Every structure is written in structure tokens, then in C-alpha cells.
Amino acid sequence: MLNGHRKEYLWVFVIVSLFCFVSCGNGTVQDVTLPMIRLLSPIDGARDLGTTVTLTWEATPSGAATPERPQALGTIAGYRVYFTVAGTNYPAPTFCQEKQLVQTGLAEGTDYRWKVEVVEQAGKSRVSPEFRFSTKAGTTPQWGEETLSEPAVFTVEGAIWVSPTGNDVTGIGSETRPYRTIFKALSECEGGETILLCSGEYREAVRIRWPNITLRSAPGHWAKIIVPTDDEEEAIALMMDVESSGSKIQSLEIIGGYYYGIKFETRWDWGIEDRSGASDIIIEDCVIHHTGRDAVKITPQCNRITIRRCEIYASGVGAHNQGNPNAEGIDNVNGDRMLVQECHIHDVSTTGIYFKGGARECIVERNIIEHCGASGILIGFDTSPEYFDITTNPEYYESISGIVRNNVILDTAYAGIGLYAAKDAQVYHNTIVRTAREGMSPITFGLSFQDWEPEAGRPPSINPIILNNLVYQESGERPIVAIRYSDELGGMSALEGPLVIDANCYYAPGGEIWFQDRRPGHYLERGDFEDWKAHVGAEANSLCADPLLTERYRLEAGSPCIDKGIPTDLVRYDVDNRLRPSPFDIGASERLATD
């Protein structure tokens, strides 16, 4: 009897043990008392990858996965992703619940290593083996170096086709049997796909949730995405979700949206450690207009957004924007390294472009910005404190190391170019015409109140460089350059320290040219050009003269601005994408010998 019991115990042990181990099909046996994890891509040893990489893996809960024992399966709570440069220690992992994670902004020519830990609700976990990959060595220009915009890149091979005459039920997404809606095409995506839209109207809000998606009009076609501005349920015409990094929007017309035409979404206020947003996205050759509020909205830590060769107009047409308008062409709050190139932004409700909230290293170059209800370009502005990253920007600067160059700015109600709590701003070769019609001045140093919150910094602008700009005003009603001050909050100055300003041309045929500095200890009220030069100890190479502008605001032959600019390493081209020969002309346009 005793021996019989021993046999029973032995069989129980064998049966239980068999449930704890399964064959993997490759000759190995895995312990399934713990969850299983397998890395998929990039494969171990992958080389020459881009600077945006999607890490993917698969996982199986613990337990014997059989229909007879479903209760034996554990429940996966999520994944801890460890990622770092090869040869360095892993930082704290990123926690996610999807079986993928997009890594953006990787350095070129660099080796990386990564692994993933699967975690169950009961606390069981398993760490994968480590994989390694390397990015392709590139020739990326040094930040700040001026380059011409790159042409649109896309592929037709393997693309998903959509047409207003297609069918979501019988279609297969081919050119001959396209889908009817963008929604259906996106539902077939997992990341990396190209969606081609045939000509016509697509009356649906679009939300891109996958990385490296290209959405564009098919070659030879022009597609329109149209969303109403009077329905709050249709808040955004095109949303770039937090997982959409690396995507491209090309050759589309985007109309409407109760709030925004295009919005880049962020994890900033999700209450998790990862506060990043949709990044490394290109918007090119698009037309964006008639939006409820901002045409383009960039939220915190949506970094490296490029907007090029786009037309943006008629922002803020929604009824909810009337009375107290706030609807920019491009509104960037704490998105680093934004690049806006060769766009035409016009007839917007408020400001053409601003980048604020601590946005770093943003560049706005070779754009035409005109007919703005507020200002043209603002380097910084005024942001609520909760949108600043005070670990990297404890002083609450609104903008850090922004560059504005080779733009033509026309007909604005307020500042042509404004600097607000801007650190290390650089303003080169802009042509500013008929601005500050209702207030401020063509070049304004403004104040950031930051909601009057006690913890906010409200710093003055520091270390600005303003060279080779052309300012044309029809009257002398307002100062050409103004530096503001307020007695509020214990006293606030718009500028602190030296002002590097030179080789600018100022002209006001209908009145006098004058300058203003309201700071205590630096006070200058209605100073003329000589007063101003003595006041700032600069502008020795600047002039007050008729620049002789054409109807397109280029320089005529004989202009006093020709060859009078100061050379700078950060300018190579003019507003028309033409290489500037040395010596440079003042203003956005270079007059060449062939003109």
C-alpha cells in the first residue's frame, strides 16, 4: 500500500512537471512557470538603421497554454524596455503595455543595445536576451547650418490605396480595388506602410496611431481631408498620435477641425515617467486652412517636427475663436528642434509662427508670412508654467537657441519679430515690412508673465543677435525697435545684458525713425538713430535709408543694402533658395548679377 502511494505521488510529480515545461519547437525546452519573451526587431546585429527605430517583441503569459487549462495562464501587466548606447549602463527602463516602442532621435553611426522584461500582474517576470544594432553613419549638417529643404521621399510599391469611389468591404487596398476610407486603410497598418489617396474629398477625421506611416496624395492626384469647424466631436482634422513618430504627411489639403488642422499628441500630462510625444515627423507640400483655431499645434516634447513647402492660411475661422482670438498658423509649445522651411503663411487669425514654453533649437527660415492678426514670428511668448521642463530649463526661458533667418514678414497688427524670454536667439537677414500697425514695433523685446504664477521664472531675453535685417515702415507712428518693462511682479525687464545688433537697414518714408527702451537705468524714449547707437553701443554698420524694394520686396539695382551685410556662418542662402555670394546683402533677398 505504501508502495502504491509512492507510485501515485510519482505520477503526480511527473504530470505537474510536464505542465511546467513546453517544447519551443527548436529542440529547446522552456520553463513556462514564468512568462516568455522574444525580441523580434531590429534583429540582433542589424546595421545601418535610421535614426527612428521601432523595437518590437512578442510575449506569452506563464502557464501551460492549452484549451483545457486556460486558468493556468498569467496576465501580462506590461513591459519594461531597457535601451542604451552600447558600452553604457542601462538607465531606468521605459514601461509600456504595447509590444512595441518607438525610439526617436538616435545618433547616426552609433551602436545601441536593448532588452525587454515582461511583467505579469502577479509579479512574475522574465528578461529577454540582449539584442544590439547600429545606426547608419550619416552626413547630417551641424545644427544651425542652413540647408535647402529635401525633396519628398515615398514609395508606391506595396502601398495601400484609397479612393472616394472605393469600397471598405469589397476593396483590398490595391490601386484597382481601393478602400473607401482612410480609417479602413489605417486599420490595416502596423507601422511603416504608405497610404496613397486618390483625388477627391475625404470627410473624416484622421488619427495616425502607428510609426513611420506615410499618408499622401497618390502621384498625379490631389486629395482633401475635410472636417467641420462647428462640431467639437471633430476636434482635429489630422491627429498624429504619440506612437506616430517617424511618419510623413505629403501633398494633402487639410481643411477644418473644430480646434486644429494638424495636432501632434504628447504623453506630457499622462502622469507617467515617459513624457515624450510624436516626433521626427515631416509635413511637406501640404495646404492647411480654414481651421477652428490653430492650423498646426505642436504639444510638449513633440520634437524634430519639420514643416516645409506648405501653404497655411485662414486659421481661427471657428465661431469659438471669435471675440478673444487665439489661432496661430503654427503654435509650438515646448517642442524642440522644430524646422519650418519655405512655407507661405498668410491671413491667419493671430500670429504666423511662435515657438515657446522652453522650445529649444527651433529654426524658421525662408518663409513668406503676411497678413497676420497679431505678430509675424515670435521667438518665445507666454506659457503656463506646467508646460516647461524645469529639469533642463529651471529659469523658465520661453525659447532657447532659436534661429529666425531669411524670412519676409508683411502686414502684421503687432510685432514683425518678437523676442520673449528668449535665450540665445539669433535673427538674421529678415525683411520686415508694414508691421506693428496696431501696437508693439517691428522688432520687439516683450515680457512673459507666465500666468502670474509665483513659481514661474519670467526671465528677460539674454544674448540676442540681430544682424542684417531690413525694416520698412510706412509711418513713424511706432518705434522701430522697442524694449519693454513692467512694474508688475516686482519689476520685469524684457532684456538683460548686451544686445548684439548691427548691419540693419531702417526706413520709414512717412515719418521719423525712432527707438524705445523702457528699462529703468537704460531708459530711452523716442531716441533717434544716433541716440540709439550710443544707447546700445552697437549698430555701427547699420543705416537709415530707402532700401529700394521691388513689388516682391526684393532689392532693386542700386539699393544701399547691396553688399552691406555682415558675414555669418549660419546663413548661406536667401529667401528664394539662392546661394548668397560674399559680401551678403541686407534683408531676406540677395540681388545677384544675373537679376
- Reply yes or no on whether the pLDDT at 5 is more than 90: no
Query: Tens digit of pLDDT for each residue in 508-543?
Result: 998 899 999 999 999 999 999 999 999 999 999 999
C-alpha cell of residue 534: 550710443
Q: Tell me the one-letter amino acid at 134.
A: S
Spell out the alpha helix ranges (H) of 47-162. Answer: none
Give the per-residue pLDDT at 67.
55
155 Cβ contact list (under 8 Å, min separation 6)? 194, 214
Give dist(CA 130, CA 463) in Å, integer. Answer: 46
Which of residues 563 and 104 earns the better pLDDT score? 563
Predicted confidence at residue 64, as pLDDT, reads: 53
Phi, psi angles (nearest 5°) of residue 123 = 100, -10
202/12: higher pLDDT: 202
pLDDT (tens digit per residue) in 366-401: 999 999 999 999 999 999 999 999 999 999 999 999
Query: How much is the pLDDT for 136?
Result: 87
Percentage of residues in the chain with pLDDT exceeding 70?
Answer: 93
pLDDT of residue 78: 93
Nearest to 532 by CA among 545, 543, 546: 543
What is the tens place of the pLDDT at every residue in 114-147?
Answer: 999 999 888 889 999 999 999 988 766 678 999 9
Distance of CA 417 to the CA centre of its chain: 20
Here the cell at position 363 is 529654426
Q: What stretches of 236-367 adopt beta strand conformation (E)? A: 236-240, 248-250, 252-256, 260-264, 282-284, 287-289, 296-298, 306-308, 311-313, 330-333, 339-341, 344-348, 353-356, 359-360, 363-365
| pLDDT at position 258 over 70 | yes
Evaluate if residue 94 carries a pLDDT over 60.
yes
Q: Is the pLDDT of residue 27 over 50?
A: no
Q: Give residue 340's identity as a one-letter amino acid code.
A: V
Residue 65: the pLDDT is 54
Mean pLDDT over each residue of the chain, to the nearest integer = 92
Is the link from the previous residue into 42 a cis peptide, with omega within 30 of 0? yes
Decide if pLDDT at 8 tops 70.
no
pTM (2 decimals)? 0.80
Query: Residue 124: its pLDDT value, please?
Result: 87
Please tell me what DSSP assigns to residue 17.
H
Domain boundaries, the chain: 1-29, 32-135, 305-310+323-595
In sequence order, the 6+-apart residues with CB closer than 8 A to the CB of 412 are 352, 369, 370, 371, 372, 374, 375, 376, 434, 435, 436, 437
pLDDT of residue 451: 97
Per-residue pLDDT averaged across 75-82, rounded? 93
Q: Which residue has better confidence, 405 or 122?
A: 405
Reply yes or no on whether the pLDDT at 17 is more than 50: no
pLDDT of residue 200 exceeding 90, the answer is yes
Taking the C-alpha atoms of residue 451 and residue 491, their distance in angstroms, rounded to an integer, is 15
Summarize pLDDT for 446-479 with one digit per residue, the tens: 999 999 999 999 999 999 999 999 999 999 899 9
Cell of 514: 525712432
Q: Please list, in sequence order, all residues whose beta carbon lies within 8 angstroms of the beta carbon of residue 2, skipping any fewer than 6 positions away.
A: none
pLDDT digits (tens, 9 = 90+) for 41-63: 999 999 889 888 999 999 988 87
CB 506 within 8 A of CB 480: yes
pLDDT class of 71 with cuts at 50, 70, 90 = low
Provide the CATH number for the domain formed by 32-135 in this structure. 2.60.40.10
Q: What is the pLDDT of residues 262-311, one digit of tens each?
A: 999 999 999 888 889 999 999 999 999 999 999 999 999 999 999 999 99
Q: Residue 400 is which amino acid?
A: I
Indicate if the pLDDT at residue 20 is higher than 70: no
**Cα 243 from Cα 399, distance rounded (Å):** 26
The span from the CA of 236 to the CA of 364, in Å, is 24
